[in-house]
Amino acid sequence: MQKNQKEESCALKESSKGSACKGCSEKEACQSKSQNENELIEKTLKKIKYKIAILSGKGGVGKSTISANIALYLAKKGYKTGIMDVDFHGPSVPRILGISEDKAELTDGKIISVKVGENLKVLSLGNIIPDIKEAVIWRGPVKISLIKQFIEYSDWEELDYLIVDCPPGTGDEPLSILQLLGADTGVIILTTPQKVAVDDVRRSITFCNRVGNPVLGLIENMSGFICSKCGNIENIFGEGGGEKLALEMHIPFLGKLPLDANVVKNSDSGLPIFENTSQPVMDAFDDIMKSIIEKTK
């Protein structure tokens, strides 16, 4: 995983689209290495039946929580599943899955992912860097280069599903990730019902339409707060914004997940949100997952 200085500087120059290679004495060796890399990435991705990227124009809407739980749910249903956490500035998937103390090992030229149960393999920077509390300050091309290495050196082998927790926004990073994963990667868009989130997320849908990846649907998270004492529903972030957006943008609506303190409690304890939370959360998540499985059969 450690890149030497030469590779690092090339990664930083990647954005200049090859012009930085002009006159470089190692151009040929470098280009053949890059071709090998691409072949290896293609070979790895070919072994995966369905790739799903979770995108959101806005941060803090529950992307990591939902990504981790989608992966865990699929694994518990018996599907061989991988999750790749490439939200490098906030790799929270390990905490949500209760594996933040585990370390991914680097052996025999492979990154040995952390396992959760029988069927889930997790690849996250949170299990690689020594101190997750340290801020990660990397420029885009370095991050893309690291994502390539995640795929290239992964130990996934055959998978039914690969879930990718993408960085928020519609900038270079999600774009490069989708390009790397391929045009057959399905996208799930996440939003809260709040207008500011919906506006950002509208851009995510336009972005997918532009790059041509199929949108599996939209999930509205934090949709209505359920009082644990009286069961009353309070629409803290507004109501139905995601559902309306799905209708407006002609994409499937996968469902609403309520805002519920049990989601926070379970996620902080490394427990699933689809077990031992509240009935509305468990029912909603179950419906969303049935819909996702149906669409990816």
In whole angstroms, the minimum distance from the beta carbon of 163 to ligand ADP comes to: 13
Residues 124 and 122: their CA atoms lie apart, in Å, by 6
Positive or negative torsion for Cα 105, 168, 285, 279:
positive
Q: Is 227 in the site for ligand ADP (CB under 6 A)?
A: no
In whole angstroms, the minimum distance from the beta carbon of 107 to ligand ADP comes to: 30
Residues 121 and 112: their CA atoms lie apart, in Å, by 9
Residues 60 and 57: their CA atoms lie apart, in Å, by 10
In whole angstroms, the minimum distance from the beta carbon of 40 to ligand ADP comes to: 29
Find the part of the chain contacting ligand ADP (CB under 6 A) among 43-51, 72-80, 201-209, 257-265.
Answer: 257-265
Contact predicate 31/21, CB 8 Å: yes
Q: Which residues ranging from 45 to 64 are in contact with ligand ADP (CB under 6 A)?
A: 56, 59-64
Angle at 11 between CA 6 and CA 14, to 5 degrees: 125
Q: Which amino acid is at 179?
A: Q
Contact predicate 61/221, CB 8 Å: yes
Q: Which residue number, 10 or 61, has a Cβ lying nearer to ligand ADP?
A: 61
Q: Is 256 in the site for ligand ADP (CB under 6 A)?
A: no
Positive or negative torsion for Cα 115, 297, 281, 203:
positive
In whole angstroms, the minimum distance from the beta carbon of 117 to ligand ADP comes to: 21
In whole angstroms, the minimum distance from the beta carbon of 156 to ligand ADP comes to: 22
Instruction: Tell me the three state secondary structure of residue 218.
Output: strand
Q: Which residue number, 201 or 246, has a Cβ lying nearer to ligand ADP?
A: 201
In whole angstroms, the minimum distance from the beta carbon of 215 to ligand ADP comes to: 18
Q: Is 166 in the site for ligand ADP (CB under 6 A)?
A: no
Task: Kindly tell me which residue out of 84, 257, 289, 292 binds ligand ADP, with binding defined by CB under 6 A.
Answer: 257
Size of the site for ligand ADP (CB under 6 A): 18
Q: Which residue number, 60 or 117, has a Cβ lying nearer to ligand ADP?
A: 60
Task: Kindly tell me which residue out of 263, 271, 288, 289 binds ligand ADP, with binding defined by CB under 6 A.
Answer: 263
Burial of 83 (0-12, 13-18, 19+ CB in 10 A): buried
Q: Which residue number, 47 or 265, has a Cβ lying nearer to ligand ADP?
A: 265
Q: Is 240 in the site for ligand ADP (CB under 6 A)?
A: no
Nearest of 84, 113, 92, 91 to residue 181 by alpha carbon: 84
Q: Which residue number, 50 or 237, has a Cβ lying nearer to ligand ADP?
A: 237
Rounded to 10 degrees, the C-alpha dihedral 37/158/294/280 comes to -100
Residues 53 and 141: their CA atoms lie apart, in Å, by 19
- Per-residue contact track with ligand ADP, 127 to 156, x per CB under 6 A? ------------------------------
In whole angstroms, the minimum distance from the beta carbon of 186 to ligand ADP comes to: 19
Residues forming a β-bridge with 187: 53, 215
Q: Is 69 in the site for ligand ADP (CB under 6 A)?
A: no
Residues 273 and 190: their CA atoms lie apart, in Å, by 16
Residues forming a β-bridge with 71: none
Report the interface residues with ligand ADP, using CB under 6 A. Answer: 56, 59-65, 90, 92, 221-222, 257, 259-260, 263-264, 267
